[in-house]
A and B are shown apart, each in its own frame.
Chain A
Amino acid sequence: MFASFFYTLRKHKVSVSLMEWMTLMEALSKGYAFSSLTNFYYLARAILVKSETHYDQYDVAFKEYFHGIETPEEIANQILDWLQEPIRRLEISPEEIAQLEKMNWEELMKTFEERLREQKERHNGGSRWIGTGGTSPFGHSGRNPAGIRIGGSAWGRSAVQVAAERHFQNYRSDVVLDIRQMQLALKELRQLSRVGPKEELNLRGTIDATCKNAGELEFIWEAQRKNNVKLLLLMDVGGSMDPYAHLCSLLFSAANSATHFKDFKYFYFHNCIYGHLYTDIELREAQSTNQVLKTMDHDYKVILVGDATMSPTELTMVNGAIDYWEMNETPGIVWLKRIADHFKRCTWLNPEPPRNWIHPTVQMIGRLFPMYELTLEGLDQGIKKLVAAS
């Protein structure tokens, strides 16, 4: 019975691990909850919840599970009863663990289906069908490669199937991107060179020099190694990118909070790059692309993020820009070519899965920039490309 509190928590996306659960059991068996529901509330929260951002979910789960239980005496007996229940300390067989994982997955699936059902009722026909929040990993499935939305009732069903498949994959191989993983991936983006005052002792050099000097000490000092990489991030914030907004913001915060870059700059664009780049997501503060190219050195590493999916006219025609006020005299593809030519190292990260890359504009852009999927693996590959010997 108590074990189901574990699942109630997990259902509400509080990621409790078995290890933390065991710790709670240990604390309970030692009587630290003092037979009071309030103490139990704080005790369980301190042990099980590791981020204040999850406190709310914890509260919801707690309320759902314990509602109706008011008096402390009752809870004391119940906790004692629960301690007799199946999950006992240190007695979990591999089969049981397997079972736990399986149930956990089903639990997650159930939540997802519920959410999907809910959303359909509320937002039917809306442009942000599966929102930008926590469910976004599932979100892309509903859209076909050319960016045309399909309506009708059969839609939801297929999205569930595709999403289920994707989610399962991600769960199994553990490649769900979170900000920490992205930070780790971005850490690979470095080229170390020695700059600054010479204050670090080079031990090997000192030994060599001392030996050559017939045993008279000769110290060799050198400067610390610093990362020399400058990063430029260009992100598509067009309408077709809405389902990936969460993913993109993760990448942005990972890059922005990374302290190891010598310089980090970012701009936004809508669908394709023309004469202007924007410093804000609402595309109000513009800078001329020419100016950006003029003022930035060739050695910036460039990561472009976008689905590269648009009407071919937007890419190849004069005045083809989706925003009429852009009035571009130069086709988008030429601007992209200029960027690819100006910077030595560029990579394009596409949040769409590669099976959708048959679209003509994705093909064309893929010939200009090496293109990778915006997953952990794709990010790794793209970064390898960026730091490859230049």
Chain B
Amino acid sequence: MFRYLTIGLFAFTIYILFSGSITLYDILTGLIVSAIASVILAKTLVKEDSKVIDIRRLFWLIAYILHYMTIIELRAHLDVAKRIINPRMPINPGIVRVPYKTKTDYATVLVSNSITNTPGTVVVDLDEDKKILYVHWINVKAIEPDKTYEYISKTFEKYAKKIFD
């Protein structure tokens, strides 16, 4: 039940943002459209009802967005910018294995998209059976799985598990 409401609310927000106006017409049609979209798709988007209303997960999501968008992004941007500006171009590129321990799809996607969105690292592939992400790294500091985990995805996993697992 809650998943239908949450997904419906999500749809309604998208509808109003895209329309760019809030008149009675927008609200009425928005409600109808989001109800239909939610009935069709909520079951494929959310599997566990109880997770949706868990307020702690929402809190962790907001905390993660704040942490990621400020500290993590700034640090990574500065690091890559330095490498670009430096005339000696101090890079040591390579693809490394990074293990992941998340259980749900959303958590795994959050971790890998966070890695990709951070300058300097890009997820090129993932192995679902071995639970390994293949990550292209602009400056390879280590190739051992436990060390790459420490360097690249430890913080992301900490949050992803609390938000989605």
Bound pair (A, B): no
